[in-house]
Structure 1
Amino acid sequence: MVYITPIAELCTMKDIATKEDVVLFVNAFYDKVRQDDLLAPIFDSKIPAERWPAHLERMYLFWGGILFGNSEYVGNPFAHHRPLPVGEAHFERWVILFRGTIDELFRGEKAELAKHRAASIAAIFLNKIMFERGLRQ
């Protein structure tokens, strides 16, 4: 479903500016992922219910680092995605849900940066996975 933001709402939306804003969009995004017919089975197979709070905490740090330049996130996100049974459709859906979430909640430079970086990360991960599987050169 496509949500079209009314003009009056666009004028009052703020940019991503705080850690609380990051928590808001990460939670909203993963709520959508966990309900998505394509993505939920992948995430459910990798992240048991009791580990979701820890996963979300890592995602707050990850996106906070991207948007605000802090270095609190430690890890190799690609290593967690490499073994997953995912392909182009999964990454496309992930980007669609991410962009939609940001657009529903925020407007501004950081919001645009978040959407751009999400699309870039998805493209890089997809290309690396396809290359490692011998499906791309």
Structure 2
Amino acid sequence: MVQSRHATITEDAIATLVDAFYARVRRDPTLGPVFEAAIAEEEWPEHLETMRRFWSSVMLTSGRYSGNPVAVHRAVAGIERSLFATWLALFTETASELFEAGPASEFATKAQRIATSLQLALFHRLGGPPDGLKRKPAA
């Protein structure tokens, strides 16, 4: 039996999305090893709860999350810019499967902004060229 997709964003729906998404992340050949190295097996329940609070704050402006995502991601060994495209594709795919088009699009838009912000914070260097551009050689 096919389960109907969520029409609205609720705390329960966010929990379903977070759990389904991170189950996929853990199985992903690119993302899985990075997450497994960063999060011990016994820490996963706490991580999932943190992510539920994070997305609740993002999507429902609940204020349930307080933390520093940039600092957390800076501490992750093996994090690379290319991983964000995989993360975003998996997240968007999971949201599209679990939510109707409107809420799925809201999640995708927020996820894109979060991915862009984290990439800028982690990989852009002040005084360097804009991301994706190489500095022209001095004449």
1:114 aligns with 2:131: no
- Which residues in structure 2 correspond to 1:79-118 (within 5 Å)? 79-84=71-76, 85-118=78-111
Calculate the TM-score normalised by the size of structure 2.
0.82
For 1:71-93, what per-residue CA distance to the aligned partner results, in whole angstroms no more than 9, with x for missing partners? Answer: 01110111111133222320000
How far is the alpha carbon of 1:128 from its aligned partner?
1.9
Equivalent in 1, 17, 29 of residue 25 of structure 1: 17
Provide the aligned length of Structure 1 versus Structure 2.
127
- Any unmatched runs of 5+ in structure 1? 1-8
SS at match of 1:34: helix
Alpha carbons 2:5, 2:98 under 8 Å: kept: yes
Equivalent in 46, 50, 64 of residue 56 of structure 2: 64
Alpha carbons 2:70, 2:122 under 8 Å: kept: no
How far is the alpha carbon of 1:16 from its aligned partner?
3.5
Aligned residue type for 1:112: S
Aligned residue type for 2:11: K
RMSD across aligned positions (CA): 2.0
Give the Cα–Cα distance (whole angstroms) in 1 for the partners of residues 12 and 89 of structure 2.
Answer: 22
Give the Cα–Cα distance (whole angstroms) in 2 for the partners of residues 17 and 117 of structure 1.
Answer: 13
Aligned residue type for 2:74: R
Identical residues among aligned pairs (%): 32
Alpha carbons 1:67, 1:110 under 8 Å: kept: no
| Higher RCO by CA contacts (8 Å cutoff, separation 6 or greater) | 1
For 1:92-120, what per-residue CA distance to the aligned partner results, in whole angstroms no more than 9, with x for missing partners? Answer: 00000000000111014333221111111
Q: For the pair shown, which has the larger CA radius of gyration, 1 or 2?
A: 2
How far is the alpha carbon of 1:125 from its aligned partner?
1.0
- Any unmatched runs of 5+ in structure 2? 131-139
